[in-house]
Structure 1
Amino acid sequence: MPALLIIAWLVRDVRAADGLMPVWEYWSGTADLRDAPRTTTSTTSLVLLLAYAAAAVAALRSASAASVLIVTGVVTFALRLPGVWTIADAPAPEDLRDRALLTTYVALAAGLAMIVVGVAGRRPVPEGAEGPAGPGRGAGVAVFLLLGFQGVLFAAWEIRQPFVYPSELYPAWFIGGEPLTTPLTEGPPGWVAVTHVLMLLVAAVGAVVGAAHARALGLIAGGFVLSSGVVGVARIVHYEMYEQFLDLDIEAQLNMLTSVSSLLVGPVVIIVLARRGVERIPVGGAPGPWGGGGAWGAQQPGYPPPQAAPGQQPPAPGFGPPP
């Protein structure tokens, strides 16, 4: 249902703007805002749409379906929650506000439903079976470094902005309202940015410890990083800022480098996490020092009994190797 609603709003924006290109120009910040029609969506909706499609496939085929549903539900709820109080006062026709508010409530209900279904669908792993796969050791470290780096970058820019933006933008930057104008179905930019930072840091830590939820959360976070890089680089190319790079101040240069970094990091994270995760050790523990499937030689079901050497009696149950 949330995916269908996003598609409906995207179609509405394309029709209102008389084409896909004006919508993209508004999303990327390259349009003339005096003439461009205001859209009701942003790249956030596009990333969520792809996340819903991936979650639907995972729910049918993946052993990690429960964690995928929980992660997708939490992300949906966090990103759509501000619409409850921002849409009512938005400068838009009343019928459009009503539809947007209904969409927000449906998205929140769907997010909660995904969380409930995911929690209810989590079952104990049978003994000897494999648990949900998380990132492998090498992939986990790589994702930790990449997403952690981007999370710190995004957080640093949010901390920096109050010192350079007009004070009138706050607290609307985080909670919405005048004088800020945002797409009707999207949250305030500060709220969205803080949500992205939390996603990046949680996914980074989860990846390095091999948590099963890190794959789903990291993929969604990687999608948001990639979209941020695409939008930022589009502005750089449109305004030919790369030609003036050496003449710009250090802050503008760092801003450009952040966009390029996002464009490079996003696809790498998605490719690394899209690969099949590492196999979990079967429930019961790692092989013990005496060669069994459990601790200290305790045999797991299905393991063959130890073979005695010629001329020796096999060890009695419960005792170690004979002297």
Structure 2
Amino acid sequence: MTVTRPARLTGAALCAALALTVAVWILQDLAVLGSPVDLARYWAGDHRFPTRGRSATSPLDPVLLAAYAATAVAALRSPHAASALAAAGTATLALRLPGLWAAGNGALVTALLELALAAGLLLTAAVGRPADAPHEPRPARPRTGPAVTAGILLAAAALLLALGELYRAGALPLEATVDRFTGGRSVVAPALAPPPGWLSAIAAGLYGTAAVSCLLRARHARAFGLLAAALLTADGLGGVARAVRYETLTRLGDLAAPDAADVLTSVFELLAGLAVLVLLAGRDAPSAAPGPHPAAGARPPAPPHPTPPGW
């Protein structure tokens, strides 16, 4: 969908504000943990080294930072940035909503600010269309082969994530399961991170939505697919990093079936996420050629001869 230049500038400014908010928290965690390596290890789930405090960010934050930066660039460069603005706004609303009941004033203020900016992105994408939108060129659809392949990979990722949450719901007590979605006392997570069950539900919904868009070759498939792929890659990378750190990747045969399934799922998520990024980053399908237009100053065809009655 086409958006006007003022709307694109507004969307880019909103994305820049969101990116700045995330960057400030990441820089604060760098000051707390001491080095980028320690912060990366903390994001990967390695909490065995001494720290000077608790991290407020999670692996989700660098993904959102990259998404905001890419969306801002897209808004500045392309008139078809409405889908990118909508994807960034929708994901932010869904992922930051639990911050409204999180502990800590800083997390609450950040959640309120980011939710307001995300609502602004959705409003900009919705009302920023030009007055002559029906005559504007429409964004191209993704190519069939890459789009269908990406859709299958994203659908498989959504299914694996949903099955994993169903297994945990059956294995854990009811109170612990509820806490995974609401952020209760039994869940220890960074201040800005959504509860793990909530994150899994939102991620599965995003993967599924992007998968359907890719399979249908919708015009917004690229924006939602790339965002889903970035989140999928980060999740898989974190799981693989933990498996390497704790040497479970080389001892799959010694692990219990659920633990081995978690490691293999992380490997699949990493490979599938990278594959979807490559598939959707390619060129779109060629647009249909416009119909012929009469040349300027061309005369209408001469009437037939002899002239029919009533001509």
Contact 2:206–2:228 (Cα < 8 Å) also in 1: yes
Instruction: Report deviation, 1:243.
Output: 2.6
Q: Residue 14 of structure 2 aligns with which residue?
A: none
Q: Residue 241 of structure 1 aligns with which residue?
A: 248
* 3-state SS of 1:205 partner: helix
Q: Specify whether residues 36 and 263 from structure 1 end up closer, same or farther in structure 2 by C-alpha distance, changes over 3 A only.
A: farther
Structure 2 CA distance, aligned partners of 1:142 and 1:36? 45
Instruction: Report deviation, 1:247.
Output: 2.2
Residue 104 (structure 1) aligned to one of 90, 104, 111: 111
* 3-state SS of 1:212 partner: coil
* 3-state SS of 1:39 partner: coil
Q: Deviations over 1:267-290 (max 9, x none)?
A: 11111111232234368xxxxxxx
Query: In the alignment, residue 202 of structure 1 is paired with which amino acid?
Result: T
| TM-score normalised to structure 2 length | 0.84
Instruction: Report deviation, 1:251.
Output: 2.1
Structure 1 CA distance, aligned partners of 2:44 and 2:52? 12
Contact 2:101–2:108 (Cα < 8 Å) also in 1: no
- Where do 1:255-294 residues align within 5 Å? 255-281=262-288, 293=291
Q: Deviations over 1:49-80 (max 9, x none)?
A: 00000100110112321111111111111100
Structure 2 CA distance, aligned partners of 1:219 and 1:255? 24
Contact 1:135–1:278 (Cα < 8 Å) also in 2: yes
Q: Does residue 78 of structure 1 match 2:85?
A: no
Q: Residue 170 of structure 2 aligns with which residue?
A: 163
| TM-score normalised to structure 1 length | 0.81
Query: In the alignment, residue 21 of structure 1 is paired with which amino acid?
Result: V
Q: Does residue 222 of structure 1 match 2:214?
A: no
Instruction: Report deviation, 1:34.
Output: 7.8
Greater Rg over alpha carbons, structure? 1
Query: In the alignment, residue 77 of structure 1 is paired with which amino acid?
Result: L
Q: Residue 185 of structure 1 aligns with which residue?
A: 192
- Where do 1:1-323 residues align within 5 Å? 1-32=17-48, 37-86=53-102, 90=103, 97-123=104-130, 125-127=133-135, 130-281=137-288, 293=291, 300-302=292-294
* 3-state SS of 1:81 partner: helix
* 3-state SS of 1:263 partner: helix
* Unaligned segments of structure 1, at least 5 residues: 91-96, 284-292, 294-299, 306-312, 314-323
* Unaligned segments of structure 2, at least 5 residues: 1-16, 299-303, 305-311
Query: In the alignment, residue 43 of structure 1 is paired with which amino acid?
Result: P
Percent identical among aligned pairs is 35
Contact 2:18–2:117 (Cα < 8 Å) also in 1: yes
* 3-state SS of 1:82 partner: helix
Query: In the alignment, residue 106 of structure 1 is paired with which amino acid?
Result: L
Q: Deviations over 1:286-320 (max 9, x none)?
A: xxxxxxx5xxxxxx5359x9xxxxxxx9xxxxxxx
RMSD: 2.4
Query: In the alignment, residue 180 of structure 1 is paired with which amino acid?
Result: V
